[in-house]
Structure 1
Amino acid sequence: MNMGESSICQVRATFMLYDDTNMRWVPAASEGPATFSRFHIYHNPVTNTFRVVQVGHKIQTGQQMVINYAIIKGLKYNQATPNFHQWRDGRQVWGLNFCTPNDATLFANSITYALQVVSGTDSAVTASGKKKSQKKSMTADNMASRLARLEEELTCPVCHDIFEHPVLLSCSHSFCKGCLQQWWTGRPTHECPVCKTTSFSDNPPTNLVLKNLCRNFLEEKRQSNSSVSSEVLCAAHGEKLRLFCLDDEQLACLVCRDSEKHTGHKFLPVSEASGRCKQEVQELLKPLKKKLEDFDQVKTNYDLTENHIKVQAQNTETQIKEQFKNLHQFLQEEEETRITILRVEEAQKSQEIKERRDGLSKEMVTLSDAIRANEDQLRADDHVLFLQNYKTTMERVQLTMQAPQPISVALIDVTKHLSNLDFRV
């Protein structure tokens, strides 16, 4: 904004240009079709001039002017639809797709006023009996202008929208709590998005004053929009919009009906046209509602199928666990039975070997005694005594004993115990 200028209007809209080659409207510059920027109409009371300015916000560089268009005499302004307006000069056709109908009405009234001033016809409006309606329009514009300036002060530098849960940093800058947390995500330090001052608090305090201001502003703006929408005036003639043009599908006043622009067009009263248009919309809504019901039915079937799959999985899991539980019990019982049979066979074979080993030990003792007694006789020096016992000695030497038998007890038949097991480790 230049020195001495004041904003008489601030709205949100998408700036469009008409492509003559392809005969269609396209977003200007790098904007997307759903990107809304702020547009001001500035008035310089010294030179009595007006200009349309599109302002874009960048955190690093502050405000950056994108469009600077002077409103000149002879400019043709047309409200193509309630939300899309266009104007033409000698070089280019321009268009604005407004965020809301109230923004469109405010901008159209301000453009009309500016054109009347630069064309020198501002005083001529009273001659046609429109001074009262123009005064109401300017009163609403002044209120909207005041709200626009206040809105600019209550706008978050990150999301460019009214503060939501504003928090205050130590550097005195405020931001939406969600915007600040998102800005800090992935950054090594918690710095202010505007001045880059490092914040040492992960949870900055709420700016209660700013929070209350935003709440009061939104309430005042809601009431302002409600009062504006209750009496919408024709941007071109300042009259109440009582008619609806069926050919152009736009609202019109009684003067519009008789103007050259609407020659040969059909009109209906607003109430009657509203009923007809609502009926058309309702008819168009019927197939959409039917399609929605179909989608809802299919979604319900999906939900039922998903629940059935969950029940199936739970039942199958229960059966699997029960089968394995029975299998574990059977295997445990089978293991105990087989081990018992093995232990019995082990005990029987061990007892048989013990009995044979004990008999062999007795025979070894008898043989040892005979050998020892005979050796004692051989070591004796008394020849008479040796000869006297010679017969007995010979009997002991000729003691008849069976030769020891090799082990004939069979080992445990491992194959018998393992061969009929189906599972191998």
Structure 2
Amino acid sequence: MGTKYEEDFCCIVCNDIFKDPVLLTCSHTVCEHCLKDFWEDIGAHKCPVCRRRSSKDQLLPNLVLKNLCETFWQERSQKPQAGCWALCKEHSEQLKFYCVEHDFPVCVVCQFDSKHTCHTIKPRNKFEPFDLKEELKLCLGRLKTKLEDLEEAQLAGDETTHCITARAIHIEKLITEEFEHLHRFLRDEEKVRLAIVRQEKEEKLQMLWEMSSRIRRKMTCINDTIKAIQRKLEADGVTNLKCL
């Protein structure tokens, strides 16, 4: 590896940067495929470092170390060493070629990729410094495109919000007008029905008053007749009662 920093990311079995590191119960970490090959070779589930037994069901992915190793690979691919080619991020191959149309270094695998179809591919000088300026330009272009997409999405969202708000206001207005019309109808209907009840009450009361008046007149007439008879009886005496 060359440096103590690189050795920290080195698997003891394959002596290379960790790939899919797993953590054993003894706290040692090795590549998952290296561990499986080691177990198959010795015919037992033991740690390659301390030889302690370990269960296959107890293997845990060392996600922190995996992320650190991936970051290390990216940094190493972006920082070529003296006299060495820089490495491609996608294929981990040396960037020995250059795409004229994209104005960007590519590896032997990239030049056959669909992204570079019909492009002019030229070999690069081995000692040509790896210029990140062009990569930053491409990254900037992608970010601008993404920003434009997000702005369009935001604009579409704003338009949708405006449409929803306008439609809600329109529907609220219609509902208010409908219920106002209904309230007017109910108020008018209330007035009509109350008027009918009052008129019916007045008519029935008038009828009862007239009936009561007739009864009082008859009662008065009868009382007068009774009084007249009593006076007659008192004036003529009992002897004249047979004549009546």
TM-score, normalization: structure 1? 0.32
Match of 2:15 in 1: 75
Q: Which among 319, 340, 348 is matched to residue 202 of structure 2?
A: 340
Asked if residue 253 in structure 1 is aligned to residue 80 in structure 2, the reply is yes
What is the aligned counterpart of 2:142 among 266, 274, 280? 280
Match of 2:35 among 83, 91, 108: 91
1:357 matched residue in structure 2: 219
Matched with 2:94 is 262
In structure 2, the CA distance between the partners of 1:312 and 1:372, relative to structure 1 (3 Å rule), is same
Q: Is the Cα contact below 8 Å between 2:86 and 2:95 reproduced in 1?
A: yes
2:127 corresponds in structure 1 to none
> What runs of 5+ residues in structure 2 fail to find an aligned partner?
20-29, 38-60, 99-104, 106-129
**1:264, 1:92 → 2: CA distance?**
35
Contact kept, 8 Å, 1:370 with 1:397, in 2: the verdict is no
The alignment partner of 1:77 has SS state of coil
CA–CA separation in structure 2 for the residues paired with 1:271 and 1:258: 15
Q: In 2, Cα distance between the equivalents of 1:73 and 1:272?
A: 39
Between the aligned partners of 2:65 and 2:196, the Cα distance in structure 1 is 84
Q: 1:366 aligns with which of 220, 228, 231?
A: 228
Residues 98, 104 of structure 1: 8 Å contact kept: yes
Query: How is 1:312-351 mapped onto 2 (pairs within 5 angstroms)?
Result: 312-351=174-213
Please, what TM-score do these two structures have when normalized by structure 2?
0.51
Between the aligned partners of 1:89 and 1:335, the Cα distance in structure 2 is 96
SS where residue 78 of structure 2 aligns? Answer: strand
Alpha carbons of 1:320 and 1:263: their partners in 2 closer, same or farther (altered >3 Å)? closer
Higher percent of residues as strand: 1
Give the Å deviation of 1:351: 1.0
Cα displacement (A) at 1:354: 1.0
SS at match of 2:191: helix
5 Å matches for 1:209-224? none
How much does 1:262 deviate? Answer: 0.9
Q: Give the direction of change, closer, same or farther, for the CA distance of 1:366–1:263 in structure 2 (3 Å limit).
A: closer
Task: State the SS of the aligned residue for 2:96.
Answer: coil
What is the distance in 2 between the residues matched to 1:88 and 1:365? 133
Residue 34 of structure 2: SS of its match in structure 1? coil
Secondary structure in 2 aligned to 1:91? Answer: helix
Note if contact 2:18-2:31 (Cα within 8 Å) is conserved in structure 1: yes
Structure 1 residue 92: Cα displacement: 6.0
Cα distance between partner residues in 1 of 2:212 and 2:178: 50
Counterparts of 1:91-110 in structure 2 under 5 Å?
A: 91=35, 96=63, 104=68, 108=72
**Backbone CA RMSD of aligned residues:** 4.4
